[in-house]
Amino acid sequence: MTTKVQKLTLAAEQGETEAQYKLGCMYFKGDGVEQDYDAAFKWLTLAVNGQDQGVKKADAQHKLGFMCYRGRGIVRDLDAAFRWWTLAADQENFDACFCLGVMYFHGDGVAQDFVQAHVWLNIASAFGDEGASIKVNKIATRLTSVQINEAQELASKWLKNRKKDSR
């Protein structure tokens, strides 16, 4: 174990949220350590439950959602993936918005709903996700103009509420 990993582990064990997050990411990617989804899940969960309310919490929630969705480090759990991604999306993690859109598009763990898929992918698209833009256009071919307007209004309302919250 390198000195950097040892220092991070010590800080993480002492409850430092940033260290828990960094260590979780290292194990998630196999960056400087052997990839270990069990360890990643442990450290990311501790980071999410820690007292630090920093931006990294939403990133950790997104990664936990991915792990639940794919069954990495835990048994595949689509309900948990949905919960983690919803929490991350509420904190403006637009990767999580994309993932929610995909869940609704495919009906993975939720009822298939092209309007909701359009909403979440539209939100991700508004923040520059080109893949989301492509999927929004694809979904639009399955919706009526009334449904498209509804989806656009819901996405717009969500984005406006976020701007109010950040003031």
Task: Give Cα separations from 114 to 30, 77, 105, 141, 167 (angstroms).
Answer: 36, 22, 6, 10, 32
- Whether residue 166 is predicted with pLDDT greater than 60 in this model: the reply is no
Residue pair 8/43 in contact (Cβ under 8 Å)? The answer is no
- Whether residue 135 is predicted with pLDDT greater than 70 in this model: the reply is yes
Angle at which helices 17-29 and 37-49 cross, to 10°: 160
Average pLDDT over residues 105-132: 95
pLDDT at residue 51, rounded to an integer: 72
pLDDT at residue 2, rounded to an integer: 79
CATH code 1.10.10.10 for 1-91: no
Q: Is 18 helix (H, G, I), strand (E, B) or coil?
A: helix
Residue pair 59/93 in contact (Cβ under 8 Å)? The answer is yes
Question: What gap in Å lies between CA 91 and CA 58, rounded to an integer?
Answer: 6
Query: Which of 33-37, 55-59, 68-72, 78-82 bottoms out in mean pLDDT, i.e. has the lowest?
Result: 55-59
DSSP 33: S
Question: What gap in Å lies between CA 38 and CA 96, rounded to an integer?
Answer: 21
Domain range list for the chain: 1-91, 94-167
pLDDT at residue 167, rounded to an integer: 46
Question: What gap in Å lies between CA 165 and CA 167, rounded to an integer?
Answer: 6
pTM: 0.89
Q: What is the pLDDT of residues 136-154, one digit of tens each?
A: 999 999 999 999 999 999 9
What tokens appear for 84 in the block? 């983690």
Q: What is the pLDDT of residues 14-29, one digit of tens each?
A: 989 899 999 999 999 9
DSSP 15: T
Question: What gap in Å lies between CA 78 and CA 54, rounded to an integer?
Answer: 26
- Whether residue 120 is predicted with pLDDT greater than 50 in this model: the reply is yes
Q: Is 133 helix (H, G, I), strand (E, B) or coil?
A: helix
DSSP 157: H
Residue pair 143/118 in contact (Cβ under 8 Å)? The answer is yes
Average pLDDT over residues 74-92: 95
